């Protein structure tokens, strides 16, 4: 009985020891599992607590009882091994490692495209020689709309398949071609400069904007009057012949520009292409014409096609020197907001302006859609002048009478 009691006590102690040993093994197994599998970002409050690790290094003390804990954005991933995959999003990757975020691409530095090419010019339904005007405008449009990598030779080849004409056009268009820049040319108007049965001059006003590669904003702008010549082809249709003028070269405003010339250039009622402004800056324009232009502006705003540059040198088809060439004539294609070609009615404001002009003694010649009897000024009408008013003056100092 005593031996049996001792045996039972020994058996109870052995069972207790075995239970203790099993508990210790289970405890360490959990510790090891927790160290190996714990995620870098703690899970919610339901996750099992991780026991203290006596081998972990102590957090340094700064001496006043406070501890230095790096802020979340101060960790730069320097301790992450070089073989760890980097997640661009800055959130844990598939293998559970949190990584830094790659810098976003600077989209503000991306190249910006300029505006698309402007639409082609379409003549008014009232236009005379509409097909010729349309083709003349196409030529000006072709050589003033291009990209930074364009070639003036390629642009010219797009106008005509004739090698000699294309080569001459490329040389003439060099004035408006700027390698390394983009160009956008908007056709403002196409006016007749003169015509015969087989040849015609189309004066095209084009507003050209120029910008650098990779930019959308224009760095400079010029409005030119070009003289485009066409010829009848074998089929009877108009074909490109030559670019007689690209509108001249820019001229800086002179410091000694006369007050009269400055008044014309600076008058907001007078819409001048740059080609005409450069003529005035160069001193090509007679003072008598400048005075007449200011007088017209006192009555109404108006838009000029050409003074000298961009107009045929001679009266088209003749050997007579044009008054434009000597700086004593201006062509006006729009009065206020009305095109001359659309205002042939005798009740129009343009007709009234014309009556006033032919009554002036300083006007030497006047061409328009109308013929005025008993006028002071010599006046005439023909098909060429259906789309504009031609105002020619006597030279400065000419005695009236």
| Amino acid 109: pLDDT | 56
Residue ending a domain, choose from 245, 272, 294: 245
Residue ending a domain, choose from 205, 220, 245: 245
| Amino acid 113: pLDDT | 80
Is 203 within 8 Å of 193 (Cβ atoms)?
A: yes
| Amino acid 397: pLDDT | 76
Looking at the structure, tell me whether residues 211 and 263 fall in a common domain: no
Looking at the structure, tell me whether residues 241 and 211 fall in a common domain: yes
Q: What is the mean pLDDT of each run of 10 residues along the chain (401 residues)?
A: 49 60 56 47 44 42 41 39 40 46 55 88 97 98 97 97 98 97 98 97 98 94 98 97 98 98 98 98 98 98 98 97 98 97 96 98 97 96 97 83 52
How far apart CA 391 and CA 387 sit, in angstroms, is 13
Residues 6+ apart with CB under 8 A from 193: 200, 201, 202, 203, 227, 311, 312, 316, 384
Q: Taking Cα atoms as reference points, which of 384, 333, 87, 336 lies closest to residue 225? A: 333
Looking at the structure, tell me whether residues 373 and 266 fall in a common domain: yes
| Amino acid 92: pLDDT | 46
Residue 20 lies in a domain: no
Q: Taking Cα atoms as reference points, which of 175, 210, 204, 172 lies closest to residue 187? A: 204
Residue ending a domain, choose from 245, 278, 304: 245
| Amino acid 90: pLDDT | 44
Q: Residue 314 gets which letter from DSSP?
A: B
| Amino acid 102: pLDDT | 55
Looking at the structure, tell me whether residues 221 and 328 fall in a common domain: no
Residues 6+ apart with CB under 8 A from 330: 276, 289, 292, 293, 304, 306, 307, 324, 390, 391
Q: Taking Cα atoms as reference points, which of 380, 389, 186 lies closest to residue 303? A: 389
Tokens matching residue 118: 């402007």
| Amino acid 398: pLDDT | 72
Is residue 321 helix, strand or coil?
A: strand
Looking at the structure, tell me whether residues 329 and 361 fall in a common domain: yes
Looking at the structure, tell me whether residues 179 and 206 fall in a common domain: yes
Tokens matching residue 26: 């289970």
pTM score over 0.75:
no
Domain of residue 135 covers: 130-245
Looking at the structure, tell me whether residues 266 and 361 fall in a common domain: yes
Domain count, the chain: 2
């Amino acid at each position: 009985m005593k031996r049996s009691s001792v045996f039972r006590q020994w058996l109870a102690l052995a069972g207790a020891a075995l239970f203790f040993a099993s508990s210790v093994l289970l405890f360490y197994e959990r510790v090891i599992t927790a160290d190996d599998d714990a995620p870098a970002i703690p899970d919610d409050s339901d996750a099992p607590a991780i026991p203290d690790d006596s081998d972990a290094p102590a957090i340094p003390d700064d001496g006043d009882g406070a501890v230095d804990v790096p802020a979340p954005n101060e960790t730069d991933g320097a301790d992450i091994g070089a073989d760890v995959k980097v997640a661009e999003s800055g959130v844990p990757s598939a293998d559970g490692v949190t990584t830094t975020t790659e810098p976003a691409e600077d989209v503000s530095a991306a190249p910006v495209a300029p505006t698309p090419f402007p639409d082609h010019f379409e003549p008014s339904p009232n236009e005379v020689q509409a097909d010729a005007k349309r083709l003349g405008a196409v030529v000006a449009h072709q050589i003033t709309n291009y990209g930074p990598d364009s070639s003036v030779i390629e642009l010219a080849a797009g106008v005509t398949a004739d090698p000699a004409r294309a080569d001459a056009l490329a040389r003439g268009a060099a004035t408006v071609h700027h390698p390394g820049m983009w160009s956008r040319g908007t056709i403002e108007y196409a006016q007749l400069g003169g015509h015969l049965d087989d040849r015609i001059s189309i004066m095209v006003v084009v507003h050209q904007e120029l910008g650098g590669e990779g930019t959308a904003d224009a760095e400079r702008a010029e409005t030119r009057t070009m003289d485009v010549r066409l010829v009848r082809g074998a089929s009877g249709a108009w074909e490109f012949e030559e670019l007689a003028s690209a509108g001249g070269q820019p001229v800086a405003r002179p410091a000694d520009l006369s007050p009269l010339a400055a008044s014309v250039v600076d008058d907001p009622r007078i819409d001048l292409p740059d080609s005409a402004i450069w003529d005035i800056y160069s001193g090509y324009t007679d003072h008598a014409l400048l005075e007449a232009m200011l007088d017209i502006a006192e009555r109404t705003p108006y838009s000029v096609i050409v003074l000298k540059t961009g107009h045929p040198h001679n009266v088209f088809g003749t050997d007579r020197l044009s008054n434009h060439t000597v700086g004593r004539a201006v062509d006006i294609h729009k009065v206020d907001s009305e095109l001359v070609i659309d205002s042939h009615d005798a009740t129009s404001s343009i007709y009234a302006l014309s009556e006033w002009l032919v009554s002036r003694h300083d006007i030497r010649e006047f061409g328009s859609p109308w013929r005025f009897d008993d006028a002071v000024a010599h006046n005439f009408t023909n098909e060429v002048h259906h789309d504009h008013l031609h105002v020619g003056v006597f030279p400065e100092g000419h005695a009236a009478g």
